[in-house]
Amino acid sequence: MVFASLEFLTLFLPLFFLAYLLTPQRGRNFTLLVGSWVFFTWWTPRYLVLLIALTTLAFVAALAIERCRSELWRTRIMALAITLNLLCLCWYKYANMLVLSLLELLHHQGVAIPAGFAWESVALPIGLSFTVLHAISYLVDVRRGVVRAQTSFIAFSAYMAMFGHLIAGPIVRYKVIEKELRERQFHPHDFAMGVRRFMVGFSMKVLIADTLSPLVAQIFSTTSPSFVDAWSGCIAYTLQLYFDFAGYSAMAIGLGLMLGFYFQENFNQPYLASSIQDFWRRWHMTLSSWLRDYLYISLGGSRGGNFFTYRNLMLTMAIGGLWHGGESWNFLIWGIIHGTALCVERVCTQRGLSLPDPLARGLTLLTVMLAWTVFRADGFAAACSMWGGQFGLHGWGLSDTLALSLTPVIKWTVVVGIVCVIYPAFPWYRTGVPGFRTEWWRSSWKNYWPVLTFAYALAVLSGQSVRPFLYFQF
């Protein structure tokens, strides 16, 4: 069950909100917890025990950290709990990749594999990556004294399992919603704003991301794409990933508002960034800040000179890339590309080198798109084939297959997506269109266009199969 599905919109969500609103204030964390566990088990019932186990581990460890008087043992308890979380994540996320890579290496070395050996693929529990990140940030914050350990298991479990952001973020730190977990009120205005955000995110997902999905899959499965084919696929994927992930984040933030929680924003027009560092201030902002506060700074940050700063940047981005996936080494390569770009930018800044703003933004977007190629490709060989196409190694013209796939709907979706991406760069994005002085029309359109697009997206969704969000695989 995904947010952009009829079963969620017509069955789960109405029943959940009915139960939630009828529950007294003191019992709403329990209702939220039960609803979240039901939502989670709808996906993978057998992994509910794992979620409860990780939640219990973090809950007990945090209480032990806070009550322990020895600084050494406080650190040891935190380290043990984090290690157990990471071991669990590594097993489910990287066991397949490591075993298959080892088998492939042994095959190339001519080592015979025992005839009876058969590796059974390990399935990744939905939302496990984000569950572990939430647990780690909570334990570290308790150890640092940033927050007090939660004494209510129900409240803490509701935080860990909250269905609005459990599956694909945004990453909500405990301290952000600590006050709302204790007491929150129903505000009609916040509920209405949450509904609006949800409708906007739903439209982004269904009308743009899902429409571009078949085209992206077709081009990235092509063996030797031409220049036009490769860049068409890259542009389509660049738009698909943004509208899919930003759409999910908008829906999650909207659901949070409806429940009385105020989640952090996760995107801020990332494709308008003027540098890779600026890009990471705009893209998946909750992950960027998490990596900075709990990994980069823990490694030493920019202390210790240039060598250690570059090392820490590369390690942070490489680990961040590897966190995204365990089916391929492509994600590690993607992280290394971004880490390298950050290091190059730092060198240029220290030497006073800079580019004109339009050129800097164009080069940043080009770097991001080339990195998205390896992020999306099915294996490194497929990424190299796409890169070859992007540099014209497989011809230049539009293939007949792609020409048939570029239907008017696809073309208009790309145009609308590009307009939505670049529109915030124009001055009238905030001030309004010059000469357009009908304030009533402007305010009415602002209020009603999400309803109109949501209704249209519902009609589109009813005629097609449900497509999971791209970040569910991470």
Identify the band that residue 7 occupies on the pLDDT scale cut at 50, 70 and 90: confident
DSSP category for residue 122:
P
Identify any residues that bridge with 393 across adjacent strands, giving them in sequence order: 395
Residue 453 lies in a domain: yes
Same domain assignment for residues 197 and 142: no
How many structural domains is the chain composed of? 2
Residue 357 lies in a domain: yes
Which tens digit of pLDDT belongs to each residue from 104-127? 888 787 777 776 677 778 888 888
Same domain assignment for residues 72 and 216: no
Same domain assignment for residues 335 and 419: yes
Same domain assignment for residues 124 and 252: no
Identify the band that residue 463 occupies on the pLDDT scale cut at 50, 70 and 90: confident
Which tens digit of pLDDT belongs to each residue from 416-437? 999 988 887 776 556 565 555 5
Q: Which domain holds residue 414?
A: 191-473
User: So what's the pLDDT on residue 325?
Assistant: 75
Same domain assignment for residues 131 and 159: yes
Which tens digit of pLDDT belongs to each residue from 255-308? 999 999 999 999 999 999 999 999 999 999 999 999 999 999 999 888 888 899
Select the more confidently predicted residue: 114 or 415.
415
* Integer Cα distance of 31 and 36 in angstroms: 8
Same domain assignment for residues 289 and 157: no
Containing 379, the helix (H) or strand (E) segment is none
User: So what's the pLDDT on residue 309?
Assistant: 92
Q: Point out the domain boundary residue: 144, 165, 184.
A: 184
As a whole-number percent, the residues of the chain with pLDDT over 70 amount to 93
The mean per-residue pLDDT over the stretch 238-249 comes to 94
Q: Does the annotation count 324 as an active-site position? A: yes
Measured distance between the N- and C-terminal CA atoms of the chain, rounded to whole angstroms: 17
User: So what's the pLDDT on residue 50?
Assistant: 92
Residue 348 lies in a domain: yes
User: Which residue type sits at 107?
Assistant: H
- For 147, 181, 280, 290, the CA distances from 55, given in Å and listed in that order, are 17, 16, 29, 19
Which tens digit of pLDDT belongs to each residue from 340-381? 999 999 999 999 888 999 999 999 999 999 999 999 999 899
Cβ-count burial of 60 within 10 angstroms (0-12 exposed, 13-18 middle, 19+ buried)? middle
Flag whether pLDDT at 229 surpasses 80.
yes
Identify the band that residue 439 occupies on the pLDDT scale cut at 50, 70 and 90: low
User: So what's the pLDDT on residue 159?
Assistant: 95
Same domain assignment for residues 199 and 152: no
* Integer Cα distance of 181 and 136 in angstroms: 19
3-state secondary structure of 393: strand
User: So what's the pLDDT on residue 436?
Assistant: 53
User: So what's the pLDDT on residue 183?
Assistant: 87
213: CB partners within 8 A, 6+ apart = 240, 467
The CB density around residue 312, as the number of other CB atoms within 10 Å, is: 21
Same domain assignment for residues 39 and 173: yes
Residue 118 lies in a domain: yes
Residue 338 lies in a domain: yes
User: So what's the pLDDT on residue 41?
Assistant: 85
Same domain assignment for residues 155 and 224: no
User: So what's the pLDDT on residue 449?
Assistant: 84
Q: Point out the domain boundary residue: 150, 184, 218.
A: 184
Same domain assignment for residues 151 and 261: no
Same domain assignment for residues 112 and 27: yes
User: So what's the pLDDT on residue 437?
Assistant: 53
Sign of the alpha-carbon dihedral angle for 329, 331, 333, 335: negative
pTM over 0.95: no
Residue 422 lies in a domain: yes
CA angle 470, 42, 132 (to 5 degrees): 60
Flag whether pLDDT at 234 surpasses 90.
yes
Same domain assignment for residues 22 and 125: yes
Mind giving me the DSSP string for 142-158? Answer: HHHTSSPPP--HHHHHH
Flag whether pLDDT at 252 surpasses 90.
yes
- Residue 29 has which token pair? 């964390």
Residue 40 lies in a domain: yes
Flag whether pLDDT at 169 surpasses 80.
no
The mean per-residue pLDDT over the stretch 204-213 comes to 93
Which tens digit of pLDDT belongs to each residue from 10-50? 899 999 999 999 999 889 999 999 999 998 888 778 889 99
Flag whether pLDDT at 473 surpasses 80.
no
As a whole-number percent, the residues of the chain with pLDDT over 90 amount to 63
Mean pLDDT of the chain: 89
User: Which residue type sits at 360?
Assistant: A
Identify the band that residue 212 occupies on the pLDDT scale cut at 50, 70 and 90: very high
Identify the band that residue 1 occupies on the pLDDT scale cut at 50, 70 and 90: low
In the set 134, 165, 284, 324, the catalytic residue is 324
Residue 1 lies in a domain: no
Q: Point out the domain boundary residue: 184, 212, 234.
A: 184
The mean per-residue pLDDT over the stretch 236-248 comes to 94
Instruction: Pick from 99-113, 337-351, 440-454 the range whose average pLDDT is largest.
Output: 337-351
